[in-house]
Homo-oligomer: A and B are copies of this chain.
Amino acid sequence: MITLETKRRKTEYAIGIDLGGTFIKAALVDSKGKIIKHFKTETYSEISPKKVLSQIEMCIDTLKQDFKKEIIGIGIGAPGIVTKGVMKYPPNFKGWKEVNLKKHFEKKYKTETIADNDANCAGLAELKFGHGSKYNNFIFLTLGTGIGGAMVIEGKIYRGEQNGAGEFGMMTIDYKGPMCLGGNRGSIEAHIGRNYFLEQNKNEIKKLGKNIDFDDISHLALKGNKTAKKLLNLYGFYLGVAVTNYFNLMDVRTAVLGGGISNAYKSFIGELNKTIKTRSLKTIRNKFRVLRSSINNNAGVLGAAALIFE
């Protein structure tokens, strides 16, 4: 039905901004999820909020140039907490307290602007243009330096009381476990966030060579290296414990994995699935599925644009 409606409706255009600490990615996207133009530039987050805003404006201006059709809005995916268009205390942005992105860009461009956190945007991209065509309920997880989550319930992003839902990375799986920066001992992020994982397993990782990063471990595991396989099994186990907590609580049966570390999917999915089977209700333990994101690379800009089409 959604597909039919989309077909009937005429194609619309929006700008999607994926605001990261290092780069700003921007794209002009149509309502079917096709990227018409894209542009990428440095964020200069170490300079000032003003500089970041002018960099975003440069992206928007570049995309608008020579495009004759109407652009119905600007969607922005930003790190940290975003409430009613206000981006609050993002990690790694110098001098940034609270900046009202919605107000700033609506004034400047006289077009609707919606901002949300980047995990929700990635989940929304999956919902609108990826596995969402088949699954109405899933959790989308971003696996990288941090562990982000977006909850899709009955075809919509669930946002919670104050747009703060989906802090999946903060879920404690071992209350005695390693400390995370937020003070939440034993959270899933403190186990499988990229740097935490590399640090906690450095003795094993040393066996693989010097300057080994996560991609190296993944490549070595695929080639059959036992130490690398063991490490990724551990990754899959930790993630499995947390995903099962979600499945058991929500009676949702699908998880979709995005973010850089999801590239190692093949190396940890076996242990992940095994963990889910062990820890879920006996009567339904064969009904769960964990999928790779179908639109990993452009999820940020597509999801940001989808805020406008939502």
Contact = CB atoms under 8 A, between A and B. Distances in A.
Interface string A130-165: 000000010000000000010101000011111111
A100 interface: no
Interface in A256-310: 278-284
Nearest to A153: B158
A53 interface: no
Contacts of A165: 249-251
Nearest to A285: B183
Given A88-B283, A165-B249, A251-B159, A172 B81 contact: no
A137 B162 CA distance: 11
A223 interface: no
A278 B153 CA distance: 29
A69 to B, nearest CB: 37
A249 B282 contact: no
A216 interface: no
Interface string A158-184: 111111111110111111100000111
Interface of A: 81, 88-89, 137, 149, 151, 153, 158-168, 170-176, 182-186, 237-238, 241, 244-246, 248-253, 278-284
